[in-house]
Chain A
Amino acid sequence: QVQLIQSGAEVKKPGASVKVSCKAAGYTFTNSDITWVRQATGQGFEWMGWMDPDNGDTRYAQKFQGRVTMTRDTSITTASMELSSLTFDDTAVYFCARRSRFPGGSWGYYYGMDVWGQGTTVTVTS
């Protein structure tokens, strides 16, 4: 079935980097963008950016510009998100999601995140 499977929990020290992977299964990986969203404990969601697996194009949230890198390996249908210079405030659950287009709207389509990974907990601790 269609699914996104994320890598396991990470514990990092401040200043380090973390890389979270997201393996796509059950659909054509290059047909839909992958977005990344994070959620601190008890908080709402923060959109981090998206990547087009077909050509590697990316769009990052301004807050994370210069600190986040989204990549993909089409041979293993896996997207990755690397966040550098970690601080305690980066402690959160990180989700990948498929960004799908649905017919309609002024642009000819609407976006929706219709398939989600299970989430990866990243803990930044000294």
Chain B
Amino acid sequence: DIQMTQSPSSLSASVGARVTMTCRASQSIRDDLSWYQQKPGEAPKLLIYGASTLHSGVSSRFSGSGSGTEFALTISGLLPEDSATYYCQQSFTTQWTFGQGTKVEIK
């Protein structure tokens, strides 16, 4: 299976800040990568698919980039409601795998 490694495991930033988290695949997955946001006690929410395409209804403060093995999720203008854990997930192979998550806290 393809291993997905996210970093950092957690970060803390102030309201209004720009934060970036990364996701690395153990082999090339082209751009078959999605990002999800999960808040405590809730189901995940799709933010980005195809590594960089914003899902319908998702704030433009979120952006994704990368291809091959290196990917990034950036949140611009951090808001209190962005406090959550963010997961990357590859769909390049038929055996899907997730990263272990990056927890974003607001200072």
* A contact set with B: CB distance below 8 Å: 35, 44-47, 59, 61-62, 95, 97, 102, 104-106, 110-114, 116-119
How many B residues are at the interface, by size bracket?
20 to 34
Q: Which residues of B contact A116 (CB under 8 A)?
A: 43-45
Complex: A104 Cα to B95 Cα, angstroms: 20
- Report whether over half of chain A's contact residues are helix, strand or loop; otherwise say mixed: strand
Contact B50 A47 (CB under 8 A): no
Q: Which residues of A contact B43 (CB under 8 A)?
A: 95, 97, 116-119
Contact B46 A114 (CB under 8 A): yes
Contact A62 B95 (CB under 8 A): yes
Complex: A119 Cα to B42 Cα, angstroms: 8
User: Using an 8 Å CB-CB cutoff, how does the interface string of B92-104 with A read, 1 for contact, 0 for none?
Assistant: 0011111111000
In the complex formed, the residue of A with least CB distance to B85 is: A44
Q: Enumerate B78-107 residues with CB–CB distance to A below 8 Å.
A: 87, 89, 91, 94-101
Q: Which residues of A contact B97 (CB under 8 A)?
A: 47
Which listed residue, A44, A112, A117, touches B100 by the CB 8 Å rule?
A44
Contact A47 B49 (CB under 8 A): no
Q: Which residues of A contact B87 (CB under 8 A)?
A: 44-45
* Binding stretch for chain A, among B11-19, B27-35, B68-76: B27-35
Q: Which residues of B contact A104 (CB under 8 A)?
A: 50, 53
Residue of B31, B45, B46, B87 ringed by the most chain A CB atoms within 10 A: B46
